[in-house]
Amino acid sequence: MRAIVVAATLTSALALTGCTAPEGSDGAAEGGADGGAAQTEATLGGSGPGATGTPGVESMEKGDIVATQEVTLTGDRGTATVEIEALRVDGQVQTLTVFVTPHLTDTSGSLSLFHFLDMHGFRPRLVDKANLKEYSTLEKGAEAWSSDSTATEAGDGETFKAWAVLAAPEDGATSFDVTISHIYPRFTDIPVIS
C-alpha cells in the first residue's frame, strides 16, 4: 500500500512540474494558439541572443576563384585542378574554400579528399608572413572544423568542394599563404574578405 501512495505522489508531482508554464507567461492564453511556436522560432534562430545570422543553405557554386594550380596525384592516379576562393571572415572565424577537379588515369574511379591529401585529414594552415603567425584549422576534441575527408569525393572531371574554419585574422592581416597539404605547393597571398 505504501508503494502505491509513493508512486501516486511521484506521478502527481511530475505531472504538475511538466504542466507549469514558464515564469512570467500564461502559456497559450498569452500567445494564442501558437504561443509555443513563437517561443520555438525565437530559440531556433531569428532574433534570439545566440543568433549569428540569417538561416540559409551553403552554396555549392564556385565564388570568386583567386588562385588555381594543377597538381599531380600520388600513385600515378592522374592530376587535379585545385581552385581556391578568397578567405571569408565571419565574426571570430574565417573560412577557407577549395574546389578540386580530378583528372584520373582510371576514368571509371573517383577521388576522395582523403586520397587527394595522401591519406590525411583536411587540416589546412594559413601563414601570416608579416606578423610571423600561423593559423591552424580549429578543432573541438579530435574533430576538425573542416570537410569530412572520406565523405567528400568526385569522379573524373567532376568537382568537389572542401572547406575549413580557422580563427579570424589578427594584427590587421589582409592576406595569407595557404598550405592545403605538405605534398602540394602552397597558395600565396590569398586575400581576406568580410
Contacts of 130 (CB under 8 A, 6+ apart): 171, 173
pLDDT at 31 over 70: no
- Please give the domain boundaries of the chain with CATH numbers for all domains: 2-44 (no CATH), 65-193 (2.60.40)
pLDDT tens readout for residues 14-29:
343 343 334 444 433 4
Pairing of strands 87-90, 93-104: antiparallel
* Residue 44: predicted pLDDT: 38
Tell me which range, 7-11, 44-48, 124-128, is most confidently predicted by mean pLDDT.
124-128
What 3-state DSSP class applies to 37? helix
> Is 29 or 55 the better-scoring residue by pLDDT?
55
* CB-count burial class (<10 Å; 0-12, 13-18, 19+) for 36: exposed
pTM: 0.70
pLDDT tens readout for residues 57-116:
767 778 889 999 999 999 899 999 999 999 999 999 999 999 999 999 999 999 999 999
pLDDT at 178 over 80: yes
* Residue 52: predicted pLDDT: 62
pLDDT at 191 over 90: yes
pLDDT at 43 over 90: no
- Cα–Cα distance measured from residue 96 to residue 145, given in angstroms and rounded to the nearest whole number: 11
* Residue 93: predicted pLDDT: 97
Among 3-12, 49-58, 59-68, the minimum mean pLDDT is found in 3-12
pLDDT at 5 over 50: no
pLDDT at 123 over 80: yes
pLDDT tens readout for residues 124-168:
999 999 999 999 999 988 889 999 999 999 999 999 999 999 999
